[in-house]
Amino acid sequence: MGPKDAAQPSPIEVMLQMMSGFWVSRGIYVAAKLGIADHLQDGAKTAAEIAEATNTHADSLFRVLRMLAMVGVFEQKNDDKFVLTPLSETLLTDSPVSLRPGAIAEMGEVHYAAWGNIMHSVKTGEIAFDNHFGMDVWEYFETDPEKAQNFNKYMAKSSESISQAIVESYDFSKVQKIIDVGGGLGGMISAVLRANPNLSGILFDAPSVVEKSKEFLAGAGVAERCETIGGNFFESVPSGGDLYTMRWIIHDWDDEKSVTILKNIRQVLPENGKLLLLEAVVPASGEPHFSKFMDLIMLTMTGGRERTAKEYETLLAKAGLKVTNVIPTNSFMSIVESVPA
C-alpha cells in the first residue's frame, strides 16, 4: 500500500477537475453542433478531413478533439486521427437515444446563456433566462423556430428511454383513453399506445407544437389512435379521458401556475379518473439524485422547480387532487399518481 495521499486526489485536484467540467461541456457542444460523430461513423478521420467537411479551422478543431479524446469522448489514433467511442456514439444523429439535440440546447444555445446568468436567480429569485433575453423561454422559441425544433427533438429523444421505463412501471390495462397534456411531439403517448393496442389517446399542446407532432405520431404508427388538439393548458384542457398524463410539465412552473393547470385537469377529470405526473421526484434525504441538477435548470430557465413527494402532495391538494401512489421507475423519473379528492 502506498501513502494515502498518493492513492487519492487532493481537494485542489478534485476541485480543478470539477471546474474543468465547463471546458469539457463546451467541447461536447462543439462536437454536437458540428456533427463530428456523424463524420466519424464510417471510420477514422484526421482533424483536417473533419475540418474540411465542417468548414472549420483544422488546427483549432484538432485541439478541441484532442481534449475530448483525453476524457474518452473520442479516441485519438496515430497522433492525428480520431474515431468514435461509446461516449461519442451518443452524439450520432440517428442514434435511437441521441443526446446530440440536448448537447446543443444545454451546452451551447438556449440553456447556456441562462446558466451564464445564474447569479441573477440566486440574488433575486427571478428567472435567469427571462432576465437575459427579455422574454420567457416559450416566447423565445416562437421567435427562433430552429432552436425550438432542436429543443423539441431533444425532448422527444430524451423521452424514449424514460417513456419505456414508465410503460414498464405502470398498468395501463384498465385505461380506455389517455390524454397527454403538454405532450410535445408525442414521444410519451406514442410509447404508451404502442404497448397498449386497445388504448386510444389525445395529444394536447400548443397549436404550433401539435402541428409538428402529427408527423411524429404517424412515424410511430399510432396516428390512427391518437387525436391531436391545440390549446393552452392555463385556460382549459380537453375532456373525455379517464387517464391524464403530464411528463416534465409541472416542474416548469411555480406553485401558482401549476395549481392553475392542475385545476383545469381536475375540472374535466371523471370521479373514477386518474392523473399521472411523470417527474423527477427529489428524495427527502440528502442522497445523490439527478433531480437536484434538474432543479437548477428550472431555477435558471423557467422559474419552476423539482419537488419532493410531500411537496407534490401539498401542490395537488390545492387543486382538489389526492396522491395515491409515488411509483419509482428504472430511470430517475417517478410516477406521481393522483385521483379526485
| Catalytic annotation, pick one of 39, 57, 132, 251 | 251
d(CA 83, CA 286): 40
Query: Rounded distance, CA 327 to CA 277, Å?
Result: 10
State how far the alpha carbon of 328 is from the alpha carbons of 2, 165, 169, 284, 307, in Å. 42, 9, 8, 14, 14
For 242, half-sphere exposure in the C-beta direction (CA atoms, 13 angstrom radius) is 9
Please check whether the two domains, 4-108 and 112-340, share a CATH topology.
Answer: no
76: three-class secondary structure by DSSP: strand
Q: In Å, what is the CA distance from 279 to each residue of 33, 163, 240, 265, 283?
A: 28, 11, 24, 17, 12
219-236 pLDDT per residue, tens: 999 999 999 999 999 999
Q: pLDDT digit string (tens) for 156-193?
A: 777 777 888 889 999 999 999 999 999 998 989 999 99
Question: Does 39 participate in catalysis according to the annotation?
Answer: no
Pairing of strands 200-205, 177-181: parallel
**What pLDDT was estimated at residue 1?**
44
What is the DSSP secondary structure assignment for residue 308, as one 8-state letter?
B
Q: Give me the pLDDT at residue 4, please.
A: 52
Q: Ramachandran region of residue 186, left (φ > 0), alpha (ψ -120 to 50) or beta?
A: left
Domain boundaries, the chain: 4-108, 112-340
- What lies within 8 Å, CB to CB, of 66 at 6+ separation is 76
**Global pTM value:** 0.88
The topology (CATH level 3) of 4-108 is: Arc Repressor Mutant, subunit A (1.10.10)
Cβ contacts of 186 within 8 Å, gap of 6 or more: 156, 180, 203, 213, 216, 217, 220, 222, 226
Compute CA distances 341 → 59, 178, 315, 326, 338, whole Å. 64, 20, 13, 16, 9
Report domain 112-340's class.
alpha beta
Low-confidence stretches of the chain (pLDDT < 70) are 1-6
Q: What is the pLDDT of residue 243?
A: 98
